[in-house]
Structure 1
């Protein structure tokens, strides 16, 4: 997608008005931050730490398989909360307004093998500013997965389904290496690159030693039992983090963009691109906590530094705003969203000659071209008349789907009529 506003069926005035409404949401939330929000993050930190301590003691003290399983599951939940609701969100700066040195983006070091400082730049800047922009967002496929037809097919992509499975198992290690490569690519000094590499190695050694040497060693003769519990909890935490992240960016409806789309981009246009380039999934309170509220990926990308506990209320206002501008709110069951990503990765592992749809109109990729006339001329959108309903992107997508369905049915109906005529001599 190159012309984002055109694809969204919005005029320049509409885009700016949309941006002002989103700025208002931000101001309202920032003005209301206070004691309840502070109590929330403190409560989650206590919960996570108590859960980790209790789980490790259960693994250490129990002698039954049931005790080991309960301790391992508890440790898994603890690691998911620390990674998603605490680490990811704190490093985003969501709690910097508290001026608490313990819960600050510059001081929090998460329970992952990659240094939080390297992730902070690669993720907070490169990914969130250039979300799903081909060639600019290094998180778009992580360099091993092809998730858009606009990404040139390479022979190595044929192994993408296998790489995706392996990446999900060792996700924290893959992200650490990916962030290091991203940081080094934007540095010219070899000394700085070496410092970044040493920092990553130190963190990897420290993290691996804690999980796979220190805690198992405390178990004495039951070393392997504790080692296995840490390995299982870490592996499933990696898989869960992978699922949450890919569902927010590679599911159908999370659009991809060309570099031209961000040239001279205004803040309002950035807002619009974030809403079109991300996807949510349905979640209850427990799954919301376990995912760090990234079930609200759209709202998180609009306001990445607003506290995660406020995203549910922000979601209601964002949905109302999208309905007003007739824009889709991309969400669905987690199983469906994940199936979309699996299908896309498997499908795009094949060379383009095996694909049917184009990058302008495919389930995982779309552009403004699919709404243009035969002459391929940009659509000239009139100013919206206040008080009237917009016929925007959601209406256009629904109308096009109906037209495609009618086109698909006609040949079948014609073949059926021919068979009837042949059978009865009509």
Structure 2
């Protein structure tokens, strides 16, 4: 592949020759080998500790809601803890286990092929849309459905449509109902609603497994647990609903920070079939964003705070990304490749700037930029004139 195809005018990374690219890729592989050869008991202890936290925090939170959920402070604590439990199960346990990061343990309960997490998305659907499609075609417009989820516009390469004028409110409600959008992602509902390329009947046939998973999740959170709570049915129902929204808001914020920041690059479908592994590594780095924070922030994000490292090494135990990150960052500095890293707040703010920019057609933006520059020049001239007087 001619890597120059992938260098955009606004890219902060410098062009590498084919020889430099191959050399860069080999050094990435070396970092991977050095870390993976040390994976063992420490990593096993970590994932079992995470699973225990999920189990015991869920038991404690559900107990608070069932037996004392009618007391406002207890309801708040129970709901908050249940939200955290669901976040950790979703991000640090389920997501990473389903990537096969702990298959080497030979524990069926932590095997990527068997695990099915506590969320609307089926394990099989997630592994197809995420593990295969997203991680293979990361940030390639028209191939990676995570570029906008068929709902929002996050790249200038996406064709603008009038609905994208509502990019920001659409993104906000995507965050609130993120669990549901991810659950039905494989169905591509935009093909029915916006493009008319398939029918609702087609969707119904494709959604058999999704309907079963939705039924199971709805019965668990909104029927079974509320009913066994007896007189506390309403606090338990409300607590489960709010905890699920908490998880959706947090998970979507982490995903947005990793993919939709202003410096995260998108790509086109140019010669992807000829892409080398080294070029794939470069695309993963240039299309991803990291955010810094405390150890708990890393755990709550499923270590997707190290999104660059996750895209490079999706099957590496995520607790090892903190070890890989400084090595990858140093390698990027050596080769002039932009390593996109900032605080959580800064990255999240840049996401909304990008969403706002993508809400209008590209030529509108160019015209607005030109008018803004002209206005600034006129203001500057007036100020200079007054100073001259």
Length-normalised TM-score, structure 1: 0.82
Instruction: After TM superposition, give the deviation of residue 354 of structure 1 in Å.
Output: 2.5
Q: Does 1:172 align with 2:179?
A: yes
Q: Does 1:132 align with 2:139?
A: yes
| Alignment match, 2:352 | 342
Distance (Å, rounded) in 1 between the aligned partners of 2:121 and 2:380:
58
Q: CA RMSD, aligned part only?
A: 2.8
Instruction: After TM superposition, give the deviation of residue 350 of structure 1 in Å.
Output: 2.0
Judge conservation of contact 2:67–2:232 (CA < 8 Å) in 1.
no
Number of aligned residue pairs? 372
Distance (Å, rounded) in 1 between the aligned partners of 2:225 and 2:82:
13
| Alignment match, 2:118 | 111
Distance (Å, rounded) in 2 between the aligned partners of 1:194 and 1:92:
28
Label 1:128 to 1:69 Cα distance change in 2 as closer, same or farther (>3 A).
Answer: same
SS of residue in 1 equivalent to 2:264:
coil
Q: Does 1:352 align with 2:352?
A: no
| Alignment match, 2:195 | none
| Alignment match, 1:157 | 164
Distance (Å, rounded) in 2 between the aligned partners of 1:51 and 1:219:
18
Q: Does 1:181 align with 2:201?
A: no
Instruction: After TM superposition, give the deviation of residue 410 of structure 1 in Å.
Output: 8.5
Q: Deviations over 1:284-339 (max 9, x none)?
A: 11111111000000000000110011000000111111111122211111111111
SS of residue in 2 equivalent to 1:355:
helix
Q: Deviations over 1:206-252 (max 9, x none)?
A: 01110011000011121111000001110111000010001110001
Distance (Å, rounded) in 2 between the aligned partners of 1:240 and 1:121:
23
SS of residue in 2 equivalent to 1:200:
helix
Judge conservation of contact 1:2–1:260 (CA < 8 Å) in 2.
no
Label 1:327 to 1:411 Cα distance change in 2 as closer, same or farther (>3 A).
Answer: farther
Alignment gaps of 5+ in structure 2: 193-197
Judge conservation of contact 2:4–2:15 (CA < 8 Å) in 1.
no
SS of residue in 1 equivalent to 2:360:
coil
Correspondent of 1:199 among 188, 209, 219: 209
SS of residue in 2 equivalent to 1:281:
strand
Distance (Å, rounded) in 2 between the aligned partners of 1:101 and 1:357:
58
Judge conservation of contact 1:59–1:226 (CA < 8 Å) in 2.
yes
| Alignment match, 1:388 | none
1:337-416 pair list within 5 angstroms: 337-356=347-366, 416=383
Distance (Å, rounded) in 2 between the aligned partners of 1:416 and 1:155:
39
Correspondent of 1:215 among 225, 231, 244: 225
Distance (Å, rounded) in 2 between the aligned partners of 1:32 and 1:39:
14
Label 1:86 to 1:74 Cα distance change in 2 as closer, same or farther (>3 A).
Answer: same
Judge conservation of contact 2:82–2:243 (CA < 8 Å) in 1.
yes
Judge conservation of contact 2:257–2:291 (CA < 8 Å) in 1.
yes
Judge conservation of contact 1:95–1:103 (CA < 8 Å) in 2.
yes
78-87 or 8-17, larger mean C-alpha shift: 8-17
Q: Does 1:326 align with 2:332?
A: no
Correspondent of 1:81 among 60, 79, 88: 88
Q: Which runs of 4+ in 1 moved over 3 A?
A: 191-196, 407-421
Correspondent of 1:58 among 64, 89, 114: 64
Label 1:119 to 1:69 Cα distance change in 2 as closer, same or farther (>3 A).
Answer: same
Distance (Å, rounded) in 2 between the aligned partners of 1:95 and 1:357:
52
Judge conservation of contact 1:118–1:180 (CA < 8 Å) in 2.
no
Alignment gaps of 5+ in structure 1: 362-404
Label 1:121 to 1:2 Cα distance change in 2 as closer, same or farther (>3 A).
Answer: farther
